[in-house]
Amino acid sequence: MDIFLVRHGEAAAHWGQDPDPGLSALGEQQAVVAAQALLPRLPGDVSLVSSPLLRAQETAFPLAKSLGATVSINDAFCEIPAPVPLAQRKTWLRGFMQQSWEEQPRELLAWRDHALEQLLELSTPTVIFTHFLVLNAIVGRVLESSETLYFWPDNASITHLKLKNKSSLELLSLGAQMDTVVN
């Protein structure tokens, strides 16, 4: 069964500036392009799921509109819970991305594992609109990598997984990678 993980389009504010920004004008265009790329690849019984954060929901909108479908919200695919105040998130993020999962506190391991568990419970082909570090956590776990940063998914990139059975995921393709650093 196919699972498509879509990173949200470009946000209207940087990660350390606003806890829940919507999409920029470019992000809205990226969401349309992602929807157009996904449409021919999706079966009729596809489910749409989004992080509760606005930028992910807004990225889901063009595809949901094209399919006449609703988008379910699942907080398992929400951005990583940073254990620092908003103003310190960018510095924390840079440090986190240079570490391994073995160095992380139990809360972050639980966050990563919860996202993976939710994928394993899916029963229909699904498109999930999510975030940079969620993609890294899932792909890293599927490939058994200990690094917190496995790849640099670009805005509105599409990563393709296959759920082989209720306990196994296979990476079919990584989404397009960005040329610049995370905001």
CATH of the domain at 80: 3.40.50.1240
Is 119 domain-assigned? yes
For the chain, how many structural domains are there in total? Answer: 1
pTM for this predicted structure:
0.95
Kindly give the pairing relationship between strand 47-50 and strand 71-73: parallel
Is 93 domain-assigned? yes
Distance CA 145, CA 149 (A): 9
Is 179 domain-assigned? no
Is 181 domain-assigned? no
Token pair belonging to 88: 């310190």
What is the full per-residue pLDDT of the chain (183 aa) written as tens digits? 999 999 999 999 976 678 899 999 999 999 999 999 999 999 989 999 999 999 999 999 999 999 999 999 999 999 999 999 988 988 999 999 999 999 999 999 999 999 999 999 999 999 999 999 999 999 999 999 999 999 999 999 999 999 998 789 999 999 999 886 555
Is 72 domain-assigned? yes
Is 178 domain-assigned? no
Does residue 48 contact residue 70 with C-beta atoms inside 8 Å?
A: yes
Give the residue numbers spanning the domain of 160: 2-173
